[in-house]
Chain A
Amino acid sequence: MNTTTRHTLAVDCRALTKQYGQGENAVQALRGVDLDVRTGEMTYLVGPSGCGKTTLISVIAGTLDRTSGSCHVFGDDVASWGERKRAAWRGRNVGFVFQALNLVPTLTAAENVAVPLMILGEGHDAALKRAATMLERVDLGARTRSLPAQLSGGQQQRVAIARALVHEPRLVVCDEPTSALDHETGQRVMELLRSVASRDDRALLVVTHDSRIFALADRIAHMDDGRVERVESAPSSH
C-alpha cells in the first residue's frame, strides 16, 4: 500500500446484530459485530460457511435491515432511511460483484455494464459509451457486444467487475468473486479488481473463503459464529 495514502473510515459497524425469524425458529446470524473498513484498502471478510459474512455485507450495503447495533457507511446510517432513499443511496455509492454474477443473460456485456448508469438516469447511448470504456479497462474492449453466455467464466467475472465500478462507487462489495474460477483466473481477477478499484476515496470489501487470494488483501477480518473474531493486516506486498 502506498505510504502516502490517507485512510478514512468507510464502514463503521458497532455491536451489529441480525436475527432471522422469530421465537423458536430464530437464527442469530450476526451477534454483535464490530468492524471498520477503511478507504484506500481492500478488506477481506473470511470465515467458515454460515458464519454471517454474506449477512454482514448485505447490511453494510444497505440491502438488509439490521436487528440492533449501528452501522455507518461514509457517515450515513442507511438502515434508518426509507427504501426509496436507500435504493438511491446504493445506486450512487455501492458497486456490487455478486457470487452468482447476476449478469442479465439477454443483454450484451456493454449493456450489462451500463445498467448501474441507467439506473442513475444516464441516457442509453452515453451509458453504453462509458460502459465500453470501462470494459476496455478490464481488457474486454473487443467483447462489448458479446452475451454473457459467449464469454468464459473469467471474462464474465470481469464484466461483473466493470459493472460494479462503472458508476464510480465509493464502496465496492464483492461476494465470493473467485469461487467459480480456477486459481490462476481467480488471482488475475483479484489483481484486476485491485488495480482498477483501488483509490484513496474508495473501499473494497470482499467476502471470500478462498485462502489462495489472501495475499492480495490489505486487511483480513476473520468471522466465526456471527462475530468478527480478529482483524489482521496482510503482508504489505502490494
Chain B
Amino acid sequence: MIRIALRMLLGDKLKYAGLVAGLAFATLLITQQGSIFAGFVLRTGAWIRDTGQADLWVMDKQVEFTEDRKTMLDSSLLRVRGVEGVEWAVPMYKAYMPCRLSDGTRVVVRVIGLDDATLLGAPPIIESGALEALRQDRAVLIDAADAQDELAIREALGDTSKRPLQVGDRLDLNDHEMVVVGRYRRTTEFFWDPLIYTTYTRALAIAPPERRMLNFVLARVKPGYDHDAVAAKISELSGLQAYTEAGFEARSEEFILRKTGILANFGITIALGFVIGVLISGQLLYNFILDNQRSFAAMKAMGASNFMLLRMVAAQVLFAAFVGFGIGVGLTALSGNFLEKSELAFNMAWQVPVFGGIAILICCLFAAALSISRVLRLEPAVVFKG
C-alpha cells in the first residue's frame, strides 16, 4: 500500500509540486540562514586559525575573545617557558591604534607584534614582499584586502579614485611613520578593522605606554605531551589561562554570540522559517489529506486498518519532506556557491543540513499529525453517503 500511497501523492502533480515547493522554501529559509549564521560563527575564530603555528594560546584569565586586550606581566612569558611539556613560547602583542595614511585618511587599525627572532604567529600567505622584511626598520605587513579598501589612498589631493596601498608606501601608526614591506592574505574575520603586523619590539615602541604590554603568549607543546594537560598545567602554575586553538576559538565564539545577540537574531529568522514551513506544509498536507479523505474512508471500509492508513500518510509525508528538503538544501548550496564569492559569510557545515532536516521532519510530522487525526476519526460508513 506504500506504493499506492505514493501514487496518490504523485498523481496530482500540481498539489504535489505545491507541497514540495512549500517544504523546499522552508528548508531554504532554515538552512540558508543557518549557513550564514555558521559562516559568522566560523569568522569569529578566523584569526586564531590563521595563526596556526602555536599549539596553545596563553592569556590573562579575564580575556574573553580575540580582541579583548587584558595584559600580562612580561615575566608571564618566562613562566610559560618553564612549564614542563612546553617546547617553545613566544610573545605576541595585539592592540588597536590610530593610523593615518599618506593622503590624510585616518582609520583605526589592529596592530600585531610578532616575536622579533622567530616571527612566529605571522599570517600564512604572503602575497607580495617577504615576511623576513619585517625585520627591516619601521616595517609593517598589511592585508591585501585591507589595502584595497580601508587602507586605499588617493595619489594627489582632489583625486576621486583611490589606489591600493602597496609595498614601499608609508603610513603612520600612532604618529610613527612605518613602511609597508609586504602584503598578506588572511581569512575574512568577524571583526573588520585592518590588521597590521610588525615585530613585538617595534609594536611596543609605537604603542601608547602601558604598565603591562604583553597580551598573548603562543606556545608549542613538546611531542608526546597532551595539549590539554599542558594547557591545564600552565593555567595552574602561572595563574593565567591557556587554551588549545579550538578552545580559544570556542571561548571567543561563545563570548561574541552572547554579547552581540547574533544567535538570537538568526535564531528568530530560523524559527520563522520553521513556522512558515509548518504553516505552508501543514496547510498543503492538510488539504491533501482532506482531498483524499474519501479515498481513505473507502479503503477503511474495504478493510484497511488505521495502522495501514497511518503508514500510508507517513509515507506520503516523508516522501514529500525528503524531496522538498533535498531541493531546499540544493538551493542553499547553490546560493552558497554565489555567496562564497562575495564578502558575505556562508558556511554550510554538516550540522546545518542535519538540523535543517530534523526541523523539516518535525515540521512535517506536526502537520501530518494534524491531518492524520481526521483520517483516524473517519467513519468508514461515510463512503455510503452520496
User: Which residues of chain A have a CB within 8 Å of any CB of chain B?
Assistant: 54, 57-58, 61, 63-64, 83-84, 87-92, 94, 96, 98-100, 102, 104-107, 111, 114-116, 118-120, 124, 147, 175-176
Contact = CB atoms under 8 A, between A and B. Distances in A.
Contact of B384 (A57, A111, A115): A57
B323 interface: no
Contact of B4 (A61, A88, A115, A120): A115
B5 to A, nearest CB: 10
A102 B308 CA distance: 18
Nearest to A180: B386
A116 B381 CA distance: 17
15 contacts: A64-B381, A90-B380, A91-B302, A102-B294, A106-B11, A107-B4, A107-B7, A107-B8, A111-B7, A114-B4, A118-B1, A119-B304, A120-B303, A124-B4, A176-B386
A95 to B, nearest CB: 8
A93 to B, nearest CB: 9
A208 to B, nearest CB: 13
Interface string B316-350: 00000000000000000000000000000000000
B384 A99 contact: yes
Nearest to A84: B305
A167 B305 CA distance: 17
Nearest to A124: B3
B contacts with A: majority SS: helix
Contacts of A89: 303
Contacts of A92: 303
Shortest 5 CB-CB contacts between residues of A and residues of B: A106-B11, A91-B303, A102-B298, A63-B380, A58-B381
Contacts of B305: 84, 87-88
Contact of A90 (B8, B292, B301): B301
B293 to A, nearest CB: 11
Given A88-B305, A120-B303, 14 more contacts: A54-B384, A88-B303, A92-B303, A94-B303, A98-B301, A100-B383, A102-B295, A102-B297, A104-B4, A104-B295, A106-B10, A106-B12, A107-B8, A111-B4
B384 A63 contact: yes
A175 B292 CA distance: 21
Contacts of B7: 106-107, 111
A2 B51 CA distance: 99
A236 B1 CA distance: 43
Nearest to B382: A63
Nearest to A128: B3
A90 B303 contact: yes
A119 B297 CA distance: 13
B110 interface: no
A87 B4 contact: no
Contacts of A98: 298, 301, 383-384
Contacts of A116: 302-303
B155 interface: no
B17 to A, nearest CB: 14
Contacts of B385: 54
Contacts of A107: 4, 7-8, 11
Interface of B: 1, 3-4, 7-8, 10-12, 292, 294-295, 297-306, 308, 379-381, 383-386
A63 B303 contact: no
B290 to A, nearest CB: 14
Nearest to B305: A87
Contacts of B300: 87
Contacts of A118: 1, 4
A100 B303 contact: no
A10 to B, nearest CB: 18
A156 to B, nearest CB: 14
A84 B300 CA distance: 10
A105 B379 contact: no
A89 B380 CA distance: 14
Nearest to B380: A63
A96 B8 contact: no
Contacts of A147: 11
Contacts of B295: 102, 104
A83 to B, nearest CB: 8
A19 B298 CA distance: 23
A57 B294 CA distance: 18
Nearest to B292: A104
B321 to A, nearest CB: 19
Nearest to B10: A106
Nearest to A91: B303
B14 to A, nearest CB: 11
Contacts of A64: 379, 381
Contact of B381 (A63, A88, A115, A119): A63
Nearest to B304: A119
Given A107-B4, A115-B299, A87 B304 contact: yes
